[in-house]
Amino acid sequence: MDVDLRKLRYFVAVAEHLHFGRAAAHLHIAQPVLSRQIRALEVELKSQLFDRTKRSTELTRAGEQLLADARPLLASAAALQHRVRQAGRGSETFTVGFMPGLIVTPAVRVLAARHPGLTVDVFRTSWTDQTEVVLDGRVDVSYVRLPVDQQGLGIRPLLAEPRVAVLPLDHPLAAKDGISISDLAAEHLLQPPDAVPEWRDIAVELRSGRPVEAPSVTYTVEEKLEHVAAGRGLSVLPLSTATFYTRPDITSVPIDDIGPNQVCLAWDKTRESPLIHEYVEIATALLEGKGCGD
Right CATH for 163-254 from 3.30.30.60, 3.40.190.10, 3.20.20.10, 3.30.1490.20: 3.40.190.10
Q: Is the pLDDT of residue 219 over 80?
A: no
Q: Tens of pLDDT along 160-214?
A: 999 999 999 999 999 999 999 999 999 999 988 888 999 999 999 888 765 555 5
**Which of 17-21, 144-148, 162-166, 210-214 is predicted most confidently?**
162-166
Of 257, 98, 247, which Cα lies nearest the Cα of 163? 257
What fold is seen in the domain 5-73?
Arc Repressor Mutant, subunit A (1.10.10)
The boundaries of every CATH 3.40.190.10 domain in the chain are 91-160+261-287, 163-254
CA distance readout (Å), 106 to 111, 116, 147, 253, 275: 9, 16, 25, 29, 16
Q: Give per-residue burial for 38-56: e unless 16+ CB within 10 Å, then b.
A: beebbeebeeebbeeeeee
Burial pattern 7-23, b for ≥16 Cβ within 10 A else e, equals bbebbbbbbebeebeeb
Given CATH 3.40.50.20, say whether it is the number of domain 91-160+261-287. Answer: no
What's the mean per-residue pLDDT of the chain?
A: 88
Q: Write the pLDDT tens digit of every residue in 42-93.
A: 998 999 999 988 888 999 999 999 988 888 777 777 767 766 666 665 557 8
DSSP string, 214-279: -GGG--SHHHHHHHHHTTS-BEEEEHHHHHHT--TTEEEEEBTTSPPEEEEEEEETT---HHHHHH
For the whole prediction, is pTM greater than 0.85? Answer: no
pLDDT over threshold 90, residue 253: yes
